[in-house]
């Protein structure tokens, strides 16, 4: 919407704006916000930011040194459609309150440092990413979490349409049409709003899961911009659903025995006008360049550690199980959805040649997810790793049926604790160029294990009562 601070201030001067809303990226990937009356908002906010208490943000600073500042990025401005009064929003970087230096735990700053490192590498000057957005739309969710009452009831289309007959059979929702696809109009409203906010949408459709599972796909873009767009997409999707008295969730596995919500991430590198993932000689598998194969090897070599950032929740590992097209084996292949890395068969031109990393989900912080994948790929390029050196493939088989082959291929971790252990032990590739810091990684692991995983582990699960009540 804006290309500079000057154009943002000009918009504020000429238009009816009641509030300026600053959105801050938290450690876990959530947005926090603070609103400033228009008369208070001046150019100094783009220079000095606005102070906030970082010790109240899980994973950020400590109580005794909690002061941080949110520094708005003028180029991210958009009119927020969900407030009653006209509101102009900006996405912020977090900086230190006194010196205004980049804060090492700021996720958006991590993404920007990863892009800067790439530009200095000589390998490429641009990394392009394209996440796929899978989510469920429910009519309601009732949650009870008391010591003597633990329950979740999901109200989905099968409840309200019972007796009508228009129900999608289990695992057969892919690209169905109305009246079976009752989420079409909702998705269209989401996509129209995103287009108005500058997010280019490729398409949307119903996904495999019967209970209102949807997918939206956007155009590929640079790391920080796509991460910003991802935050917007989740924000718009959840708020539009709420406006229509629905609940939208990107939770990896909200429904047992149904397809989960992944975040498959398409990615490629460019160097000037050269598409460096494309093999011009035609000798390599799937016309992938030597550099692309090295990048793939880096992703797979660090795949177990990456899982600690790309799949950091207890719920992640209810999706990452064999079946339901879940990519649990660290190998690559063309058009193979059982692989951790799929090379789209339809992407044949130099401009389209890319890879798709399939394990991630939306419980990760999108800035850390994209930055960590780029760092892993670049490490593979730097070390000139080849897939065949580590049994990474290519394997053009359904891995679920290839038991002997499975035995020699590494798998993603089976639990959040195993994933965090892998991240802790294999972190050096993330520290290159100061992109990630040890402090950030340690805080992330503590946040995910002590604040989240432990809390889940301590609570009896309803199914345990079926197993053990008669003990």
Per-residue burial over 385-413, b = 16 or more CB atoms within 10 Å of its CB, e = otherwise: bebeeeebbbbebebeeeeeebeebebbb
Q: At 209, give phi and psi (nearest 5°).
A: -65, 135
**How far is 112 from 223, CA to CA, in rounded Å?**
8
**Annotated catalytic residue 207:** yes
**How far is 266 from 353, CA to CA, in rounded Å?**
10
Residue 255: closest CA among 408, 153, 123, 404: 153
User: How many beta carbons lie within 10 A of that of residue 352, not counting itself?
Assistant: 15
Residue bearing tokens 């989905």: 156
The single residue of 73, 215, 334, 361 carrying the catalytic annotation is 215
The 3-state secondary structure of 88-107, one letter per residue = EEEEEEEEECCCCCECCCCH
Tokens for 354? 């890319």
**How far is 14 from 23, CA to CA, in rounded Å?**
23
**Annotated catalytic residue 64:** no
Tokens for 359? 């394990």
The single residue of 134, 228, 361, 452 carrying the catalytic annotation is 134
The single residue of 342, 358, 417, 427 carrying the catalytic annotation is 358
The single residue of 80, 106, 115, 132 carrying the catalytic annotation is 132
Residues 6+ apart with CB under 8 A from 182: 157, 161, 166, 212
DSSP 374: H
The single residue of 33, 172, 337, 454 carrying the catalytic annotation is 337
**Annotated catalytic residue 196:** no
**How far is 118 from 126, CA to CA, in rounded Å?**
7
The single residue of 176, 187, 204, 264 carrying the catalytic annotation is 264
The single residue of 43, 53, 195, 389 carrying the catalytic annotation is 53
Residues 6+ apart with CB under 8 A from 164: none
**Annotated catalytic residue 388:** no
The single residue of 356, 361, 379, 452 carrying the catalytic annotation is 356
The single residue of 207, 228, 279, 361 carrying the catalytic annotation is 207
Residue 326: closest CA among 311, 337, 315, 335: 337
Tokens for 188? 């269209």
Cα dihedral sign for 171, 172, 174, 176?
A: negative
Active site residues per annotation: 53, 132, 134, 207, 215, 264, 337, 356, 358
């Amino acid at each position: 919407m804006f290309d500079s601070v000057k154009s943002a201030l000009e918009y504020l001067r000429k238009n009816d704006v009641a509030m300026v809303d600053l959105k801050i990226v938290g450690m876990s990937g959530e947005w926090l916000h603070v609103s400033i009356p228009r008369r208070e908002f001046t150019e100094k906010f783009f220079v000095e930011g606005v102070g906030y208490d970082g010790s109240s943000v899980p994973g950020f600073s400590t109580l005794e040194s909690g002061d941080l500042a949110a520094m708005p990025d003028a180029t991210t401005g958009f009119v927020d459609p969900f407030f009653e009064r006209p509101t102009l929003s900006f996405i912020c970087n977090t900086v230190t309150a006194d010196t205004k230096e980049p804060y090492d735990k700021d996720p958006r700053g991590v993404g920007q440092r990863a892009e800067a490192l790439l530009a200095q590498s000589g390998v490429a000057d641009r990394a392009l990413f394209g996440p796929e957005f899978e989510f469920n739309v429910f009519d309601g969710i009732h949650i009870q979490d008391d010591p003597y009452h633990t329950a979740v009831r999901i109200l989905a289309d099968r409840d309200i349409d019972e007796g009508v007959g228009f129900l999608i059979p289990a695992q057969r929702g892919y690209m169905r049409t109305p009246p079976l696809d009752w989420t079409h109009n909702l998705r269209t409203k989401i996509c129209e709003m995103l287009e108005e906010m500058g997010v280019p949408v490729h398409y949307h459709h119903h996904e495999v899961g019967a209970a209102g599972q949807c997918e939206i796909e956007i155009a590929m873009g640079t790391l920080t911009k796509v991460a910003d767009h991802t935050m917007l997409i989740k924000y718009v999707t959840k708020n539009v659903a709420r406006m229509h008295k629905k609940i939208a969730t990107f939770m990896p596995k909200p429904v047992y025995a149904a397809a989960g919500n992944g975040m498959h991430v398409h990615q490629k590198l460019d160097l000037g006008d050269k598409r460096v993932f494309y093999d011009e000689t035609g000798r390599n598998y799937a016309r992938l360049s030597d550099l692309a194969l090295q990048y793939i090897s880096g992703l797979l070599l660090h795949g177990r550690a990456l899982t600690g950032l790309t799949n950091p929740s207890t719920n992640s590992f209810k999706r990452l199980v064999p079946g339901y097209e879940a990519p649990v084996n660290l190998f690559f292949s063309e058009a193979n959805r059982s692989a951790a890395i799929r090379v789209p068969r339809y992407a044949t031109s130099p401009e389209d040649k890319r890879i798709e990393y399939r394990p991630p989900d939306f419980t990760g912080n999108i800035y850390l997810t994209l930055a960590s994948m780029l760092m892993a790929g670049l490490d593979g390029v730097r070390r000139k790793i080849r897939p065949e050196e580590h049994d990474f493939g290519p394997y053009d088989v359904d891995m679920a049926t290839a038991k002997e082959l499975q035995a020699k291929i590494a798998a993603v971790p089976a639990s959040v604790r195993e994933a965090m252990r892998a991240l802790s032990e294999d972190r050096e590739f993330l520290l290159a160029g100061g992109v990630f810091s040890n402090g950030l990684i340690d805080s992330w692991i503590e946040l995910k294990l002590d604040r989240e995983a432990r809390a889940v582990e301590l609570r009896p699960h309803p199914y345990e009562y079926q197993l053990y009540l008669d003990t």
